[in-house]
Amino acid sequence: MNFFKSLYIHNRFFLYISGISLIFLVGKWVPFLAKLSWIVVWAFVFFSILDIFLLFRLKNGFSASRTVNDKLSNSDENNIVIQLENNYGMSLDIKVIDEIPIQFQKRDFNYKSTIAQHSKKSFEYQLRPTERGGYEFGNILVFASSFLRIFSRKYLFDAQRSVCVYPSYIQMQKYSFLAMSNRLHEFGLKKIRRIGHTMEFEKIKEYTDGDDARTINWKATAKRAQIMVNQYQDERAQPIYSLIDMGRSMKMPFDGLKLIDYAINSTLAFSNVGIIKGDKTGLITFSNTIETIIPASQKKTHLNTINEALYNLDTDFSESNFGVLYNMIRKKITQRSLLILYTNFEHQTSLKRQMPFITALAKKHLLLVVFFKNSELNEKINSKAETVSDIYEKTIAEKFDYEKRLIVKELEKSGIKTLLTNPSELSVNVINKYHQFKAKGLI
């Protein structure tokens, strides 16, 4: 029974049958072809049996496996590697089908190639998930054909595997490496000159050539009878909180990814850079209630805590309650902190409802309100209007774009820092703002 389940008829089989049938049909009028047709039939039967023998003579003639990480990075291209091994003493034509998780809706995946005798081969492909959560890989199917190509043998390899798609750790690692090597400018991150010097005292030490004379500690100099200077270090360990709005306004998708996922990826990348730079990072998520509170910390394990919390986030269809957010921050965060609020305002009316709470937060903390440009509207604005319908659509797009710019002016008029950005440029722009605040001594 297993034999028949594994035996598949190759496409050429039907071509051979058609050719033989044609010879038999013509042989009714041509005696020579009538005799030849039976020779062809027996030759076909012989080669068919030979093909089956060649394919099924080895019990384990072929093997295949898949290499995939336990965690996939959301919104990034993740490499999946398939390893193949031919144990036959002949080359094979193969077709590989990998059962990809259902979330990708990729039903046309197959890989065709030729693999030499007693050799190994591998190939890789990329998957770009756009949703966090659990993904199930299925089996690997391989259809192997000999040089005769009459039949194919199906190999089924049990490669079922569960993986989890987490916030973009690839993006986080990219910015982490660049932050440690001071090469952040390579991805559009600006190098900003720091104004003045910080005044966080570290220790008193003996004066050496090159020390700033303005840092001389005259009392310590009088006691020690030699010149002593104060040594300062950069102000570090500043508390920074990412505030993620989980209301319905963050469900809007761009390039297959919801706004909340852009905010989550940016939060993970930014939190890692903040910890590398010596600051404390925390997380607060909210909609109509407070969903998550992770106090700011700079421990090495703290990033894992943030990552696990971000993994489980999702939006709902409720209206975000900024009043609840303000009351919680007023009670829980007493030290002046940098608050990065990821939200989205499409109309001035939605901003005005939340403006009292945003203004109150900005009085006690350094608040950066981050919201998003509609990149699809930008395409419509920049396109050429050729019909009346195009003119209407372009006018409406320009109206929405103008509304966004009015929101920025309204916030800036109240002294609130803002960042209006394309979703794809979110992480870079947020980290640039962070560097700008640090350089100006605002935090």
Does position 116 have pLDDT exceeding 80, yes or no? Answer: yes
- Of the two residues 92 and 229, the one the predictor is more confident about is 92
From the list 243, 235, 421, the residue with the least C-alpha distance to 324 is 243
Could you read off the pLDDT of 59-87 as tens digits, one per residue?
A: 889 999 999 999 999 999 999 999 999 99
Residue 228 and residue 239 share a domain:
no
pLDDT of residue 392: 77
User: Full-prediction pTM beyond 0.85?
Assistant: no
Q: pLDDT at residue 155 above 60?
A: yes
pLDDT in tens, 211-244: 777 888 888 888 888 888 887 655 557 899 999 9
Structural domain includes residue 431: yes
What type of residue is 46?
F
Residues 347 and 408 placed together within one structural domain of the fold: yes
Q: What average pLDDT does this structure show over 99-116?
A: 90
pLDDT at 144 over 80: yes
Mean pLDDT over 257-285 rounds to 92
Three-state SS string over the chain comes to CHHHHHEEECHHHHHHHHHHHHHHHHHCCCHHHHHHHHHHHHHHHHHHHHHHHHHHCCCCCEEEEEECCCEEECCCCEEEEEEEEECCCCCEEEEEEECCCHHHCCCCCCEEEEECCCEEEEEEEEECCCCCEEEEECCEEEEEECCCCCEEEEEEECCCEEEEEECCHHHHHHHHHHHHCCCHHHHCCCCCCCCCCCCEEEEEEECCCCCCHHHECHHHHHHHCCCEEEEEECCCCCEEEEEEECCHHHHCEECCEEHHHHHHHHHHHHHHHHHHCCCEEEEEEECCCEEEEEEEECCCCHHHHHHHHHHCCCCCCCCCCHHHHHHHHHHHCCCCCEEEEECCCCCHHHHHHHHHHHHHHHHHCEEEEEEECCHHHHHHHHCCCCCHHHHHHHHHHHHHHHHHHHHHHHHHHCCCEEEEECHHHHHHHHHHHHHHHHHCCCC
Q: What percent of the chain has pLDDT over 70?
A: 89
pLDDT value of residue 167: 93
Q: What is the CATH number of the domain that holds 265?
A: 3.40.50.410
Name residue, tokens 């209007």. 385
pLDDT of res. 236: 59
pLDDT of residue 199: 54
pLDDT, residue 77, reads: 93
Judge whether 354 lies within some domain.
yes
Contact 82, 122 (CB under 8 A): yes
Residues 21 and 141 placed together within one structural domain of the fold: yes
The neighbour count for residue 386, using CB atoms within 10 Å, is 8
Query: Do 381 and 288 sit in the same domain of this protein?
Result: yes
CB under 8 Å to 63, separation ≥6 — which residues?
A: 84, 85, 87, 157
Strand order in the sheet with 417-421: 290-297, 280-286, 239-245, 338-342, 366-372, 417-421
pLDDT band for 347, please (50, 70, 90 cuts): confident
402 in the same domain as 297: yes
Residue type, 66: R
- Domain assignment of residue 99, yes or no: yes
> Residue 425 domain-assigned?
yes
Rounded Cα distance between 154 and 355, Å, is 65
In a domain, 198, yes or no: no
Residues 210 and 94 in one domain: no
Same domain, 246 and 131: no
Q: What is the pLDDT of residue 195?
A: 44
Domain of residue 65, residue span: 1-166
pLDDT of residue 189: 52
Residue 145 sits in the same domain as residue 175: no
- pLDDT range class, residue 196, cuts 50, 70, 90: very low
Q: What is the CATH number of the domain that holds 76?
A: 2.60.40.10
Average pLDDT over residues 329-358: 90
| pLDDT over threshold 60, residue 185 | no
Q: What is the mean pLDDT of the chain?
A: 85
pLDDT at 141: 94
Query: Is 123 part of any domain?
Result: yes
Q: Does residue 384 surpass a pLDDT of 90?
A: no
Count of domains forming the chain: 3
213 plus 277 within the same structural domain: no
On whether both 162 and 39 belong to a single domain, the answer is: yes
Model pLDDT for residues 286-326, shown as the tens digit of each residue: 998 999 999 999 887 899 999 999 998 888 788 889 999 99
215 and 159 within one domain: no
What is the model's pLDDT at position 261? 93
Measured CA distances, 299 to 44, 70, 283 (Å): 73, 24, 14
Burial of 201 (0-12, 13-18, 19+ CB in 10 A): exposed
- What mean pLDDT is predicted for residues 376-390? 75
| pLDDT: which is higher, 356 or 11 | 356
Shared-domain flag, residues 90 and 214:
no
Least confident of 43-47, 149-153, 187-191, 408-412: 187-191
In sequence order, the 6+-apart residues with CB closer than 8 A to the CB of 262 are 75, 254, 372, 423, 424, 426
